[in-house]
Amino acid sequence: MEGLKKDVIRHVVSSLGSDYASKSAYNYYNALALAVRDRLIDNWIKTQRSYYDEKAKRVYYLSLEYLPGKSLMNNLHCLGIYETARKAMSDLGFSLEDLAEQEWDAGLGNGGLGRLASCFLDSMATLGIPGYGYGIRYDYGIFHQVIEDGKQVEQADNWMRVGNPWAYERGQHLFPVRFFGEVKNWTDEYGRLRHTWTAGDTVLAMPCDMLVPGWDNHHVINMRLWSARSDVEFDLDFFNTGNYLGAVEEKIFDEKISKVLYPSDQIEEGRELRLKQQYFFVTATIQDILRRFRKKHQDMTELPQSVAIQLNDTHPAIAIAELMRILLDEDLLDWEVAWDICVSTFAYTNHTILPEALETWPVSLLERMLPRHMQIIYEINARFLREVERVARSEDCGQLCHRDLDHLKQRVSLIQERPIKSVRMAHLAIIGSHSVNGVAALHTELLKARVFDDFQRLYPQKINNKTNGVTPRRWLWSANQPLSRLIASHIGTGFVRNLDELTQLEPLAADPAFREAWRAAKLENKQRLQAYIKRKLMRELHTEHLFDVHIKRIHEYKRQVLNLLHVVTAYNRLRHGQAADFTPRTVFFGGKAAPSYFMAKRIIHAINAVAATVNADSRVNDKLQVVYLPNYCVSQAERVIPATELSEQISTAGMEASGTGNMKFALNGALTIGTWDGATIEMAQAIGPELLFIFGMREDELVSLRQHGYNPMLYYHGDEELREALDMLRSDAFSPGQHGLFAPLVDNLLHGGDRFFVLADYRQYLGAQQDVGRLYLDQEEWTRRSILNAARMGFFSSDRAISQYAREIWDVAPMAGLQNGKGA
């Protein structure tokens, strides 16, 4: 402890240039972070060196998004120095909790996809897998959300302003990135046509490395994020032209590439800068991967034995064309050889079947920005369509008439002709990879049967499932110390690295004393949240209420509106004195809406309007409260999830690819009210469906309802309570003086076809909520179920997910000496 104290003081003085006697929490947080980084860097160097020494096959995880959140507590726990640090900082006059508050969330992602990437890095580090995360170091992460007059207002997330003590910026290792320009054709000595992409604009990619430690194993992997740097400083031309300010402007323009994260989750932006971001990060990453590979290899055909590249959705899919370009134009390999290398190296994860999220890029834009890549994509397509024809003719599709074959080719082509001629990035990713995986069982089945059914017929082995998982280090041990300590006192700490060990809790569910202790841990977390809400929102929570929580991105398919209709109905019943048996509850909502997503923003407004009315109504507010948690982010999730008793997972069946919040809640002892969707299905199967509150129509039922003609008006006319709730929303009951404010929401349900079947599931949802309320009155049974929920969550560890990727997709093994946990 003395050593740590000394190091902290030394950093306050020599790294931060401050007086250690002036007790600034900000300085002491940064100094502690630097002292922790010192303790990681030796192991990071040893880890990286061991990959070379052992000629390990490496895994590269390419993701445009990461959501690491805060690093301090997690890193202290991983290093096993949490208690030491707590004492040391207390000696220096600080509470570790307060210092941790000083850290800004690294919010370099929108939601589940980015958080999954961060959980996966944590698991690779803990399992000892030679992995690297690659992404973009956005200057501005996901916007900071404030609620003003009930509405979302976006503020810039200037997370870098105060510096980042965790990152190493490596300004000396810059990689060039080219755009635009032209392609020259030439003939090599064997008479083969060759291509060279020349000129164009150049910017530079600077690596920023963040260290990702494993749990108590000395294995530290790297997350390398690229930051754009202009090359104009190196351009002597501008001295000669005398256009100094012009050159500076150009520099600012170039550096715009890594300025900001696109804040839309599953809605395509289709903006030129977004494509630039994708290519910028992809080419820098591929250059870095090949640089490392070439240190030990000359023969490029050995690449797939040494390197596996996982594409996190299609956002980095241009990597396939980029690797082809390098192999063809720089290494001068033949097409077939280069293509084999590519397909054997790449694998692609699909995260959504929502059509509006499937990426396409206009051919005209690609031709201009990446002319050589567009040529290559055309060539990939031509060869692929010839192959399709060959397969179709050779098999029993022999009977395929020409029309069918033409249709098939149109459907699977990389090029879509309408509404504008574009490249389908998902098709590029599928064709250029040896593995395509979905993220939960149902999602993968839907990929095979619907979205990618033609590809499933063409390549029956390619599409596979890897159900998502979450890291127990952050989402149980670090976020929920009261519960973790209780668990550890009964079954030891092995569950932190082997989550299956939680099954040892099962017999304890029958033990009244253990149940009481379990409830006490939950109450402690509820009180902690209560104190936080008081501090931040000046609101007093009732900890005896059922804490009912719906936190995630705001999206119509996630159906926050369904929850809101339940709240309004409960409000009406209470007002009308029809709810004598109502179980008091506080309903929490939280989540960001894409700034351009009108309906999602209006939903936030409606939630806040209902909250204001309900909370101000003294007839009901001792029994029902609604809280909107502004600026939902990773660190907020870490506070809220441990305090939650009811987890809302109520997406339209078939639409949530997996969900990962659902897992974090159950792991922390919340019961789930949910639809038969995403990974909630597998959770119900693992836990026992009777221990969750499952309701609503299933995916196949919705398909047939849609086919037979779904008429939301029938539900409206047939259900008095539903009608009352919708009429109130449409009138100004919640928006005094602003008649029609929420009419777009209601009209969308009644006259817009209710694409997400809110009305169809309303009555069943109410029934399930009634069951929840009733069960909550029986605290012993509730607690028993809560314990069993957590006990059966072993499968949903990201360690299990990563082990499956490693074995079934990447063919990589943990580093020797690290398989069973601790390293040397």
* Binding residues for ligand 73E (CB under 6 A): 110-113, 116, 265-266, 313, 351-352, 357, 439, 468, 656-660, 678
Nearest to 423, CA basis, from 346, 359, 354? 359
Q: Which is nearer to ligand 73E, 119 or 610 (CB)?
A: 119
708 a catalytic residue: no
Nearest to 477, CA basis, from 691, 797, 220? 797
115 a catalytic residue: no
Q: Which is nearer to ligand 73E, 30 or 437 (CB)?
A: 437
70 a catalytic residue: no
Alpha-carbon span 184 to 170, nearest angstrom: 34
Q: Closest distance between ligand 73E and the C-beta of residue 24, in Å?
A: 37
What is the three-state SS of 93-157? Answer: CCCHHHHHHCCCCEEECCCHHHHHHHHHHHHHHHHCCCEEEEEECCCECCCEEEEECCEEEEECC
Which residues make Cβ contacts (< 8 Å) with residue 285, sequence separation at least 6? 60, 62, 134, 224, 226, 316, 319
User: How would DSSP label each residue in 503-543?
Assistant: GGGGGGGG-HHHHHHHHHHHHHHHHHHHHHHHHHH-----T
Q: Which is nearer to ligand 73E, 66 or 514 (CB)?
A: 66
Do 372 and 329 contact (CB within 8 A), yes or no?
yes
Nearest to 45, CA basis, from 298, 217, 218? 218
Q: Closest distance between ligand 73E and the C-beta of residue 21, in Å?
A: 47
Q: Closest distance between ligand 73E and the C-beta of residue 534, in Å?
A: 32
> DSSP letter at 404?
H
Phi-psi region of 642 (alpha: psi -120 to 50; beta: other; left: phi over 0): alpha
Q: Closest distance between ligand 73E and the C-beta of residue 254, in Å?
A: 24
Q: Which is nearer to ligand 73E, 563 or 651 (CB)?
A: 651
Q: Which amino acid is at 468?
A: N
Distance of CA 195 to the CA centre of its chain: 38
Distance of CA 146 to the CA centre of its chain: 21
Alpha-carbon span 410 to 405, nearest angstrom: 9
What stretch of H or E contains 309?
strand 307-312
Q: Which is nearer to ligand 73E, 468 or 631 (CB)?
A: 468
Catalytic, out of 315, 558, 585, 592: 558
For residue 486, report the phi and psi dihedrals to the nearest 5 degrees.
-60, -45
Residue with tokens 């005094």: 736
Greatest CA separation found in the chain?
90
Q: Closest distance between ligand 73E and the C-beta of residue 110, in Å?
A: 5
> Which tokens sit at 408?
């098939």
Q: Closest distance between ligand 73E and the C-beta of residue 357, in Å?
A: 5
Q: Which is nearer to ligand 73E, 214 or 659 (CB)?
A: 659
Do 438 and 447 contact (CB within 8 A), yes or no?
yes
Q: Which is nearer to ligand 73E, 313 or 638 (CB)?
A: 313
Q: Which is nearer to ligand 73E, 258 or 660 (CB)?
A: 660
Q: Closest distance between ligand 73E and the C-beta of residue 748, in Å?
A: 21
Q: Closest distance between ligand 73E and the C-beta of residue 359, in Å?
A: 8
552 a catalytic residue: yes
Q: Closest distance between ligand 73E and the C-beta of residue 529, in Å?
A: 24
411 a catalytic residue: no
Do 615 and 656 contact (CB within 8 A), yes or no?
no
Q: Which is nearer to ligand 73E, 73 or 562 (CB)?
A: 562
Cβ-based neighbour number of residue 62 at 10 Å: 25
Q: Closest distance between ligand 73E and the C-beta of residue 222, in Å?
A: 22
Catalytic, out of 315, 553, 559, 566: 553
What is the three-state SS of 606-647? Answer: HHHHHHHHHHHCCCCCCCEEEEEECCCCHHHHHHHHHHCCEE
Catalytic, out of 219, 664, 730, 784: 664
Angle at 61 between CA 59 and CA 67, to 5 degrees: 140
Q: Which is nearer to ligand 73E, 357 or 567 (CB)?
A: 357
Q: Which is nearer to ligand 73E, 266 or 422 (CB)?
A: 266
Residue with tokens 């726990």: 77
As a whole number of Å, the end-to-end CA separation of the chain is: 23
Give 724: exposed, middle or buried? Use CB within 10 Å, 0-12, 13-18, 19+. middle
351 a catalytic residue: yes
Angle at 174 between CA 132 and CA 812, to 5 degrees: 20
Q: Closest distance between ligand 73E and the C-beta of residue 551, in Å?
A: 14
Do 407 and 355 contact (CB within 8 A), yes or no?
no
Q: Which is nearer to ligand 73E, 47 or 63 (CB)?
A: 63
Catalytic, out of 70, 351, 526, 585: 351
Q: Closest distance between ligand 73E and the C-beta of residue 258, in Å?
A: 17
> Which tokens sit at 589?
């909502």
What is the three-state SS of 27-81? Answer: HHHHHHHHHHHHHHHHHHHHHHHHHHHCCCCEEEEECCCEEEECCHHHHHHHHCC
Catalytic, out of 349, 360, 586, 660: 660
Residues that are catalytic: 351, 552-553, 558, 660, 664
